[in-house]
Each structure stands twice: as C-alpha cells, then as structure tokens.
Structure 1
Amino acid sequence: MAWLLVVVAGLLEMGFAVCLKQSHGFSRPWPTFGFALFAIGSFGLLTLALKRLEIGPAYAVWTGIGAAGTVVFGMLFLGEGVSAAKLVSVGLIVIGVIGLNLFGAVH
C-alpha cells in the first residue's frame, strides 16, 4: 500500500510540474490552483508513505516518476522537443531508480 501511495504521489508531482509551467509565474488562476492541489496531494501522499518506507528508495521513485514523467508528458502533449539524448536521459533516470531500489534497501 505504501508503494502505491508513492506512485500516485509521483503522478501528482507530474501534475504540479505541468500546472506550474501553465501558470506562467502564478499569473493564471486555474493552473495556479491546480498546482497547489497537486502539490499538496503529492507531498501529503509521500508523507504518509514515508511512515512505512525508507526515505532513499521512496524519494527516488517519487522524483523519478515526476521527472521522467514530466519530460515524457512535455514531449507528448506540450510540443517540447524530442531527441535521442532526452530519451536516453529518461531511461537513465528509470535505471537509476530501479538500481537504488534493488541495491540500496537494507533487508
């Protein structure tokens, strides 16, 4: 259950990043409101998950979903440039998060 909270929190992180972009420096009310809702939800769920999980792997998954997901979202829906270097970089983020979870947890 805690990992599900981290995944949803990571998806909400994508939402607050996109809304932050769309808010144009908090000058547009609806994206600013969306940013606030997504941010509160994301941090709230991450906080709940951290009651049961180690911070390193959980934070890596949260930021990895947020970072990689936001890049992919920008390329697919916001007209941001697509390049092999960007795709490889997103892949490296995913590999890093997997590595931290496989080799960083104390059992």
Structure 2
Amino acid sequence: MPYVLLALAIVSEVAATLSLRGSEGLSKAGPTVVVVIGYLVSFALLAKALTALNVGPVYAIWSALGTVGAFVGGVMLFGEPVRPLTIVGAGIVVAGVVVMNLGGGVSHG
C-alpha cells in the first residue's frame, strides 16, 4: 500500500507542476486550483507513505519521477523541445534513484 500512495503522490505532484505552466503565473483560476490541490494531495500522500518507507530513497523516487514526469508532460502538452542531452540527464536522474535503492532500499527496518 505505501507504494500505491507514493505513486499517487508522484502523479499529483506532476499534475500540479504542469498546471503551474498552464496557470500563466497563477493568473488562471482553474489551473491554479489544480496547483494548490495537487501539491497538498501530493505532500499528504507522501507523508503517509513515509510512515512505512525510508525517507531518503522515497524522496529520491518522488522527486526523480516527478522531474521526469514534468519533462515528459512538458513535451507532450506544451511542445517543449527534446534534446539529446536532456534525455541523458533524465536517464542520470533515474540511474541515481536506482543506485540509492540498491544502497539501502525503501522499507523501514
């Protein structure tokens, strides 16, 4: 169950981050509401997941997949450019998470 909470926290964070772009500086009400609710839900779910999982690797997973999700969403929704070096950077972020998890795992105890 904590992994489901973590996955939902990541989805909420990505939706909120992409809505920041769509809010045009928080000047559009609809996307701004998604930003606020998305981040609140994301942090609440992350906090609940952290009752059963280790903070370091979980935060790495949350932030890395959020970063990659925002990158992919920006490309798909806003036509942002995809450059080879950007793809390499995203791969490095994911590789870092894998290394962190190999070093300690994500379960308490």
TM-score (norm 2): 0.92
State the distance in 2 between where 1:89 and 1:53 align. 26
Deviation at 1:104, TM superposition (A): 3.0
Deviation at 1:77, TM superposition (A): 2.1
Structure 1 segments unaligned to the other structure (5+ residues): none
Deviation at 1:52, TM superposition (A): 0.8
Corresponding position of 1:86: 86
Count of paired positions: 107
State the distance in 2 between where 1:86 and 1:73 align. 14
State the distance in 1 between where 2:84 and 2:54 align. 33
Q: Which residue identity lines up with residue 98 of structure 1 in the other structure?
A: V
| 1:27-42 equivalence runs, <5 A | 27-42=27-42
State the distance in 2 between where 1:84 and 1:32 align. 32
Percent identity, please.
35
Structure 2 segments unaligned to the other structure (5+ residues): none
State the distance in 1 between where 2:3 and 2:101 align. 12
Corresponding position of 2:63: 63
State the distance in 1 between where 2:92 and 2:32 align. 31
Q: Which residue identity lines up with residue 94 of structure 1 in the other structure?
A: V
Deviation at 1:66, TM superposition (A): 0.6
Q: CA RMSD in A?
A: 1.3
Corresponding position of 1:53: 53
TM-score (norm 1): 0.93
Secondary structure of residue in 2 paired with 1:81 = coil
What's the CA shift string for 1:48-104, capped at 9, x where partnerless? 001111100110111111101100111122110011001111111111111111113
